[in-house]
Amino acid sequence: MQPENLAYALAQVVHNFGAVAVVGGAAFALWAGASSSRREAGLARLVGLGWAVQLASGTGLGAVSYYYYGRLPELHPVALAALDIKIGCAVAGLAVALRFLYRAESWNEGRRKLAWQALTALGAAALAAAAFLRWFS
Amino acid sequence: MARAAFLLSASLSLLPGVALAAAEEPGVRITAPVDGARLDGMDLTRLVYEVRPGPKGDHVHVYVGGKEIGILRQLKGSYTLEPLPAGAQDLCIKVVNKAHVPIGVEQCVKVVVE
């Protein structure tokens, strides 16, 4: 087993679970409905943690490349645009989740729903961009 | 025995057509256009190549003037380039791993577009 493949695989495992957390957590809150503000806060924590994990593990994948080859991946312009979208979604998703955690108590139901819609859309956009990043490189 | 193997390997390596196939080491061979070729800027240029990715390689990237313009998953074939700008151009093929990182196996040819 090549150690670099193991390193890539472990970073990818973390990245995949992060993707599940950001999309699944937001979609669950939106469609299944959060029965209490405590449960909503728990889901916001999960989604926020998921986005932080996405940023860290994405950086980790680049770091593995740099460690083993001394260079970063070379990306086609389409893949580069997809990567920019993913990073933008992660930063925005983390910001919305943190804002939800600290401010949602004073928000009305409509505003909280809007936040979950935004988080679901950001997760879906990042997931779609990931496919273009994978196959246009 | 070892001497015979060495002589066979050395003689095969003198034949450009079999050198890449005979050696199990990773490599890239661009057979067209040849290094130093003069191309018509109005024509579509076919980049003909053969790749042995080795254990670390996965697919190849195509570059014109250092800019990535294509992704190839076939190890042997051709890629039609868009009309190239006039002047000297470097055409390169690099073997990359699954994470799209060049693994150091590549070949470039210099052409002049008129």
pLDDT, tens digit, for every residue of A101-113? 999 989 998 999 9
Predicted local confidence at residue A34, as pLDDT? 61
Which chain B residues have a beta carbon less than 8 Å from that of A75?
68, 100
Question: Could you state, in order of their start, the residue ranges of all structural domains in chain B?
Answer: 25-113
Distance CA A76, CA A62 (A): 16
Residue of B69, B70, B102 with shortest CB distance to A71: B102
Q: What is the mean pLDDT of residues A46-67?
A: 97
**Which of A114, A136, A130, A99 minimizes the C-alpha distance to A20?**
A130
How many CB atoms neighbour CB B96 within 10 A?
24
- pLDDT at residue A35, rounded to an integer: 65
Tell me the residues of chain B between 51 and 90 that have a Cβ less than 8 Å away from chain A.
55-56, 61, 68-71
- Of all residues in chain A, what percent carry a pLDDT higher than 90? 84
**Which of A90, A88, A84 shows the shortest CA–CA distance to A47?**
A90
Averaged over A18-44, what is the pLDDT? 89
Write the residue in A8, A72, A74 that is nearest to B68 by C-beta: A74
Name the DSSP class of A136. -
List own/partner pairs for A69-72 with CB under 8 A and 24 or more apart.
A69/B97, A69/B101, A69/B102, A69/B103, A69/B104, A71/B101, A71/B102, A72/B101
Q: What are phi and psi of B30, to 5 degrees?
A: -95, 115
Which residue would you say has higher pLDDT here, A109 or A18?
A18
Least confident interval from A57-66, B6-15, B43-52: B6-15
Query: Model ipTM?
Result: 0.76
- Does residue B29 sit at the A interface (CB-CB below 8 Å)? no
Domain count, chain A: 1
Contacts of A82 in chain B (CB under 8 A): none
Contact yes or no for B16/B31 (Cβ under 8 A): no
Task: Taking residues B68-87, report their average pLDDT.
Answer: 91
Tens of pLDDT, residue by residue over A3-13, are 888 999 999 99
Tokens of B77: 């074939």
d(CA A47, CA A69): 33
The CATH code of domain B25-113 reads: 2.60.40.10
Which residues have CB under 8 Å from A19's CB, separation 6+? A50, A54, A123, A126, A127, A130
Q: Which residues in A have their CB inside 8 Å of a CB on B? A: 2, 4, 8, 61, 64-65, 68-69, 71-77, 79, 136-137
CB contact under 8 A, A74 and B61: yes
Question: Strand B38-39 relative to strand B87-96: parallel, antiparallel, unpaired?
Answer: unpaired
Closest-CA residue to A50 (of A27, A90, A15, A18)? A18
Shortest alpha-carbon distance between residue A48 and chain B (Å): 26
CATH number at residue A114: 1.20.120
Partners of B61 on chain A (C-beta within 8 Å) are 74, 76
Q: Do B101 and A61 lie within an 8 Å CB cutoff?
A: no
- From chain A, pick out residues whose CB is under 8 angstroms from the CB of B104: 69
Range of the domain at A21: 3-135
What is the distance between the alpha carbons of residues B83 and B39, in angstroms, rounded to a whole number?
A: 10
Give mean pLDDT, residues B33-51: 91
